[in-house]
């Protein structure tokens, strides 16, 4: 069966940095971008996945009043690079932010907040930034340093160090709403409300301890995956519940930032359960199952606070009469593993990592309760926000506006294949650098550094859990050939360099530099 590909339409005419002013539009929409960290689509009830983990009524409200995107993919599944892509509308190799180890965002480059600001929008960002340099393009910023912490977090307010007491998700929401209350009501606004949650180490608000009544969660089918049928990279990663999770992850250790009163609440929940665990002396699969259930309690507890935050923002928009002229977008920086393949974390081209939630409400434009199966991406966000505001898009952005899709129209030339590229190695999880292309059905992936080189091909129709590579199988010869050609085409069109920047892996040179040879039919399935 052949696979046909279509190029996404990209602007070819040079566009100056001059933009249409927002005042040229009768009533330009406000933009509220709510962004979380490591939020798996499996942990949003609007996605209706088979493994029902929790209810998220406020997130679901965005979906029921707008559009749910079912195939929103990221170009580099890791926190900082995803944020840089969203700001610039460019892949890591062009925006310069490859990894969380040694990358630093160049704030002098063009970003969509800068362009909106020039067009008359008020712009503000609250919460997790995680790009090392100070934010630019924002009238006001109040951010977490680095990863931030869950309880009583220090923050940076327009360059000034400040300290807050409370739970980080609540604080970010309070700050966001306070800014909305004090904004200049004569101007449209861009609000970026960016949560730390549900990032590792998944520490819930104290009010959510015990939210699940010690539930035993349904296990993913691949919890005890042995990685047979795939290569060295999958077998030698370091991101399993069995071997990688530490005492702080599973709350056998206590965060150091708690006040005495908070510590008492923490101990009242965790101590008796931890004592019971230690007495049981679990091992093998029983230990993995215990860690999985503790992980689900904690991770989903942090999601509950994010969902409450979304509800507070939506209520404010309703109460202030802003909802009808405000586009609300909810997304995460990438997907996340909730025990699938025995993993937590992200990084891979594989589905749970690659695919991120995307929910959009645009009253009067997007049909309530609609869905889209189109291949969309975080590289599209910048152009979408600019298009929504009526601001011209720079020609060097690499995505496409989602506005036609939000109007219920899929352009004939919308992408049929998507390029992915991950770099960071070896720390923290020993996921080897790889790139490839993704279609509705297939994935072709090339692992290439530093001590391994091989190709894999997955058919998600016959193998939805991506367990067996069919690379080299004669039945897939035509598909394989077309996908190789598509990889080469996309690397050329996206201006991926023939050799990776030596800083891409965290400053270490190695065999993985040479990633850009034409693919042909080289490699093996290992």
- The full length of the chain comes to 526
pLDDT of residue 447: 98
Residue 19: pLDDT band with limits 50, 70, 90: very low
Largest CA distance in the chain: 69
Give the torsion sign (CA, 63, 380, 387, 119).
positive
How buried is 453 (Cβ within 10 angstroms: 0-12 exposed, 13-18 middle, 19+ buried)?
buried
Residue 59: pLDDT band with limits 50, 70, 90: very high
Is the pLDDT at 259 greater than 80, yes or no?
yes
CA distance 435 to 419: 7
How buried is 504 (Cβ within 10 angstroms: 0-12 exposed, 13-18 middle, 19+ buried)?
buried
pLDDT of residue 270: 98
CA distance 64 to 451: 47
CA distance 378 to 320: 30
Q: Report pTM.
A: 0.93
Residue 459 in tokens: 């058919």
Task: Please compute the mean of the pLDDT values over residues 384-411 and round it to a whole number.
Answer: 97
**CATH code of the region 29-203+294-416:** 3.40.720.10
Angle at 27 between CA 25 and CA 29, to 5 degrees: 105
CA distance 404 to 206: 43
Is the pLDDT at 73 greater than 80, yes or no?
yes
pLDDT of residue 395: 96
Q: At what angle do helices 57-64 and 284-319 cross, to 10 degrees?
A: 60
What is the torsion angle, in degrees rounded to the nearest 10, for the CA atoms of residue 227, residue 228, residue 234 and residue 235?
80
**pLDDT tens-place string over residues 215-231:** 999 999 999 999 999 99
Are the beta carbons of 5 and 482 closer than 8 angstroms?
yes
10 Å Cβ neighbour count for 428?
15
* Helix spans in 258-414 (H): 260-280, 284-319, 351-354, 381-389, 403-406
Residue 50: pLDDT band with limits 50, 70, 90: low
Is the pLDDT at 53 greater than 60, yes or no?
yes
**Where does the chain hold its CATH 3.30.1120.10 domain(s)?**
419-513
Q: At what angle do helices 79-88 and 381-389 cross, to 10 degrees?
A: 30
Is the pLDDT at 512 greater than 80, yes or no?
no
pLDDT of residue 514: 58
Angle at 200 between CA 194 and CA 204, to 5 degrees: 75
**CATH code of the region 419-513:** 3.30.1120.10
CA distance 147 to 104: 14
The bridge status of strand 140-144 relative to strand 122-128 is parallel
**Where does the chain hold its CATH 3.40.720.10 domain(s)?**
29-203+294-416
Residue 89 in tokens: 């509308």
CA distance 233 to 395: 37
Query: CA 75 → CA 89, 220, 307, 381, distances in Å?
Result: 11, 25, 26, 12
Residue 208 in tokens: 């959510």
Contact partners, residue 367, CB within 8 Å, separation at least 6: 67, 408
* 42 against 511, higher pLDDT: 42
């Amino acid at each position: 069966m052949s696979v046909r590909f279509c190029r996404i339409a990209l602007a070819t005419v040079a566009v100056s940095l001059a933009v249409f002013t927002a005042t040229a539009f009768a009533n330009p929409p406000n933009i509220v971008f709510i962004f979380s960290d490591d939020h798996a689509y499996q942990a949003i009830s609007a996605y209706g996945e088979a493994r029902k983990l929790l209810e998220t009524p406020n997130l679901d409200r965005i979906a029921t009043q707008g559009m749910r995107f079912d195939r929103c993919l990221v170009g580099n599944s890791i926190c900082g690079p995803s944020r840089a892509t969203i700001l610039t509308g460019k892949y890591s190799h062009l925006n310069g932010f490859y990894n969380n180890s040694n990358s630093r965002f160049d704030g002098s480059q063009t970003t969509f907040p800068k362009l909106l600001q020039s067009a008359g929008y008020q712009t503000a960002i609250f919460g997790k930034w995680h790009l090392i340099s100070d934010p630019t393009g924002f009238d006001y910023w109040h951010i977490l340093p680095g990863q931030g912490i869950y309880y009583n977090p220090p923050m940076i307010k327009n360059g000034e160090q400040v300290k807050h007491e409370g739970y980080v998700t609540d604080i970010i929401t309070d700050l966001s709403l306070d800014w909305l209350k004090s904004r200049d009501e004569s101007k449209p606004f861009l609000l970026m409300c960016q949560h730390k949650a549900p990032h590792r180490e998944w520490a819930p608000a104290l009010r959510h301890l015990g939210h699940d009544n010690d539930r035993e969660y349904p296990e993913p089918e691949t919890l005890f995956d042995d990685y047979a049928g795939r290569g060295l990279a999958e077998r030698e990663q370091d991101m399993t519940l069995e071997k990688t999770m530490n005492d702080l992850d599973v709350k056998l250790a206590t965060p150091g930032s708690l006040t005495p009163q908070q510590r008492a609440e923490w101990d009242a929940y965790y101590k008796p359960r931890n004592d019971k665990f230690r007495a049981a002396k679990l091992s093998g699969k029983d230990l993995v199952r215990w860690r999985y259930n503790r992980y689900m309690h904690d991770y989903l507890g942090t999601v509950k606070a994010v969902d409450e935050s979304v509800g507070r923002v939506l209520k404010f928009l309703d109460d202030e009469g802003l909802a009808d002229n405000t586009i609300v977008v909810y997304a995460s920086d990438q997907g996340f593993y909730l025990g699938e393949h025995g993993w937590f974390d992200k990084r891979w081209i594989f589905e749970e990592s690659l695919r991120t939630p995307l929910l959009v409400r645009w009253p009067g434009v997007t049909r309530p309760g609609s869905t889209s199966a189109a291949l969309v991406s975080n590289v599209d966000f910048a152009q979408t926000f600019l298009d929504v505001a009526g601001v011209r898009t720079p020609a060097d952005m690499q995505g496409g506006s989602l506005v036609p899709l939000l109007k219920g129209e899929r352009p004939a030339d919308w992408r049929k294949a998507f390029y992915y590229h991950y770099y960071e190695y070896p720390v923290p999880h020993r996921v080897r650098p790889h790139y490839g292309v993704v279609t509705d059905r297939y994935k072709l992936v090339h692992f290439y550094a530093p001590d391994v080189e091989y190709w894999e091909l997955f058919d998600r129709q016959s193998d939805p859990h991506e367990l067996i590579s069919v690379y080299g199988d004669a039945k897939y010869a035509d598909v394989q050939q077309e996908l190789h050609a598509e990889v080469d085409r996309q690397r050329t069109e996206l201006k991926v360099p023939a050799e990776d920047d030596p800083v891409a892996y965290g400053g270490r040179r190695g065999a993985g530099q040479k990633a850009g040879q034409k693919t042909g039919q080289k490699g093996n399935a290992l």
